[in-house]
Amino acid sequence: MRSHPRSQRRKTALGAATAASLLLLAGCAPAAPPRGSGADADLGAYLGQELDWVKCDETSTSPKDAKLSANPALQCASVEVPLDYDEPEGKKAHIALTRLPATGDAEGSLLLNPGGPGGTGTSFVASTLPQWQASPVAERFDIVGFDPRGVGASTPAIDCYTDKEYDAGDVPRFGAVYDITSAEEANKLAERCAAGSGGIANLANAGSTDVVRDMDVMRHVLGDDQLTYLGYSYGSELGAMYAAAHPDKVRAIVLDGAVSPDLTASEFRLSSFTGLQARFDDLAALCAKSPDCVLGPDPAAANDRLHEIVQPLVETPAPTTGGRDLSVWDVYLGISGGLYSEAKWPDVISALTALQAGDADQMLALRDAFYARTADGAYGHDFDTNIAVRCMDSPRMTPEQQTALARKIGKAAPMFDISVLTAGNYHSECEAWPAPPTRDEPWLSDVEGIPETLVVSVTGDPVTPHKGGITMAKALGGSLLTVDGRQHGAYLLGGSKCVDDAVNAYLLEIKTPPPGARCSL
């Protein structure tokens, strides 16, 4: 199906895994799934398995994977879980793990997820190895990243389109919403995903509800009576869901860049674009300090100036020196990815300046960074699985609702309000999905008996707004660490000793920051 099978190509780097993949977060999770919980199912064979930890180069599926995991300090294994928890004796799935063993006497494991859906925890551990090796947490805990079902080295993989099709733009393209404008296109997407992923069953069991069940199997197989967990962005949903489902099995949960639990899928998407617009406004103000700012001297006019720059690409994509063309969709992905961290804003300004002058290479590089595309054409970000997870997580949108959402995003985030992105008639990417969603909205309610948790929330987070972090902390009855800054994610990612020390103290000693605690990036 793929020129590079997705199981060989979804190893992501630190910044991308925790940031760019989150743009497409489109829904939230329920306190309990509507279908069978599998609680009475016989999982003894799964809970009794022993992990076979080996050198990661023995399990690598691509040159990039092998290079990233080559450090002999890392170990790899896989956990067998039911593909369908309602039929535990049926087909199996395998969840890939990468572990940095504790340098001292291990007190347990720190399980982590870097975001998405579609981010890979195995490569996150490998990418952040120097930070972990310098961390006091890694002295007492094994650091364990996992690839959720369908992602990275886990099997079965979810595949809808090839890398070459992503290069050519022959995939559902994403602006304010996906550019799916008919029932036929929605059907084609579902058919492609079912055919490339080994059948409907692999799509029907891809949702977050099943990932949370996998996490409990992982906890047990890793030998932990209670879960110690770190989740970024979408990973915060998984952590909160786990806490709601298994409050007696929680030791410590850190949620960094938390998704607001009180928003519907559409409301959350709208809030994310509102955040991106706020950061673009900040970028425009930064740019305006230069006399030759490509967005002009007036930040209030920057949206219109951006539209002037990108409008020619709607009809005629710009050629690049590598032989690929840059579309208007690529431009918006590149800009959006660059807005995730204030440190990347000068790169966005430079790329727009070059694009205005007829050079599309820098913007294509930003677009490729958003997708974690490597020089050999392999894509690190798993947008196929992102779609599959969200289609299993969220209620279906009618064409009228999807079209209305595009219009609302255009008003809330006018940088996106050009005709090709917001003025069409749109169908949901999930309209023809071959299985109904397994979660409802709102996604977190009647939460009781959860031990102390810690939410880390950046005031200027572009895609999981600070208000959502406040709401998550209240919903879980936990602590909140407010971080002044403008980027997505803080712990290990922001270079803040204040943040790292506070999270380390919680993970090691369950010592939470005092009320009103603040750090800065």
Residue for token pair 């599998």: 38
Residue 382 has pLDDT above 90, yes or no: no
Is there a domain that residue 344 lies in?
yes
Is there a domain that residue 415 lies in?
yes
Question: Distance of CA 156 to CAs 84, 92, 94, 96, Å?
Answer: 12, 9, 7, 11
Residue for token pair 């020129």: 3
How far apart CA 210 and CA 4 sit, in angstroms, is 26
**Domain check: are 177 and 307 in the same one?**
yes
**Domain check: are 355 and 273 in the same one?**
yes
| Alpha-carbon dihedral angle through residues 167, 168, 171, 174, given to the nearest 10 degrees | 70
Angle between helix 265-288 and 466-476 (nearest 10): 140
- 237-293 confidence digits (pLDDT tens): 999 999 999 999 999 999 999 999 999 999 999 999 999 999 999 999 999 999 999
pLDDT value for 5: 35
pLDDT value for 235: 97
**Domain check: are 420 and 492 in the same one?**
no
pLDDT value for 57: 83
**Domain check: are 510 and 362 in the same one?**
no
Range of the domain at 501: 454-464+475-520
Give the pLDDT mean for 227-233. Answer: 98
Is there a domain that residue 225 lies in?
no
Which stretches of 48-181 are DSSP H helices?
A: 63-68, 121-127, 129-133, 137-140, 163-168
Is there a domain that residue 28 lies in?
no
445 pLDDT tier (thresholds 50, 70, 90) = confident
User: What is the tally of structural domains in the chain?
Assistant: 2
Element (H, E) at 313: helix 302-315
Q: Would you say 31 and 448 are in contact if contact means Cβ atoms under 8 Å apart?
A: no
**Domain check: are 297 and 412 in the same one?**
yes
Residue type for 471, please?
T
Q: Would you say 183 and 130 are in contact if contact means Cβ atoms under 8 Å apart?
A: no
DSSP per position, 323-372: SPEEPHHHHHHHHHHHTTBGGGHHHHHHHHHHHHTT--HHHHHHHHHHHT
DSSP H helix total and E strand total for the chain: 21, 12
Burial grade of 254 (CB within 10 A; 0-12, 13-18, 19 or more): buried
Residue 299 has pLDDT above 90, yes or no: yes
Is there a domain that residue 420 lies in?
yes
Instruction: Please state which of the ranges 31-35, 317-321, 471-475 shows the lowest mean pLDDT.
Output: 31-35
pLDDT value for 283: 98
Tally of CB atoms within 10 A around 245 = 20
**Domain check: are 421 and 489 in the same one?**
no
pTM of the model: 0.92
- Between CA 152 and CA 7, with CA 94 as vertex, the angle to 5 degrees is 25
Written as six digits, the tokens of 52 are 């076979």
How far apart CA 142 and CA 106 sit, in angstroms, is 6
In three-state secondary structure terms, 102 is coil
Burial grade of 264 (CB within 10 A; 0-12, 13-18, 19 or more): middle
Residue 87 has pLDDT above 70, yes or no: yes
**Domain check: are 403 and 516 in the same one?**
no
Is there a domain that residue 485 lies in?
yes
Written as six digits, the tokens of 120 are 């890979």
**Domain check: are 333 and 458 in the same one?**
no
Give the CA count within 13 Å in the CB-facing half-sphere of 399.
13
Give the pLDDT mean for 144-167. Answer: 95
Q: Would you say 408 and 277 are in contact if contact means Cβ atoms under 8 Å apart?
A: no
Among the listed residues 174, 203, 237, the one whose alpha carbon sits nearest the alpha carbon of residue 83:
203
How far apart CA 126 and CA 130 sit, in angstroms, is 9
Phi, psi of 251 (to 5 degrees): -95, -55
Written as six digits, the tokens of 5 are 């099978």
| Alpha-carbon dihedral angle through residues 41, 241, 438, 380, given to the nearest 10 degrees | -110
41 pLDDT tier (thresholds 50, 70, 90) = low
How far apart CA 433 and CA 437 sit, in angstroms, is 9
Give the pLDDT mean for 471-500. Answer: 97
Q: For the chain, state the CA radius of gyration.
A: 22
- 334-363 confidence digits (pLDDT tens): 999 999 999 999 999 999 999 999 999 999
Residue for token pair 């660490």: 481
**Domain check: are 353 and 481 in the same one?**
no
**Domain check: are 509 and 410 in the same one?**
no
**Domain check: are 363 and 492 in the same one?**
no
Residue for token pair 């030998």: 223
Residue 37 has pLDDT above 70, yes or no: no
How far apart CA 192 and CA 162 sit, in angstroms, is 11
Which stretches of 156-264 are DSSP H helices?
A: 163-168, 183-196, 200-204, 208-221, 234-245
Catalytic residues: 233, 461, 488
Q: Would you say 201 and 92 are in contact if contact means Cβ atoms under 8 Å apart?
A: no
Residue for token pair 């199997």: 217
**Domain check: are 488 and 365 in the same one?**
no
Is there a domain that residue 513 lies in?
yes
Q: Would you say 452 and 510 are in contact if contact means Cβ atoms under 8 Å apart?
A: yes
Strand duo 454-458 + 250-256: pairing: parallel
Is there a domain that residue 168 lies in?
yes
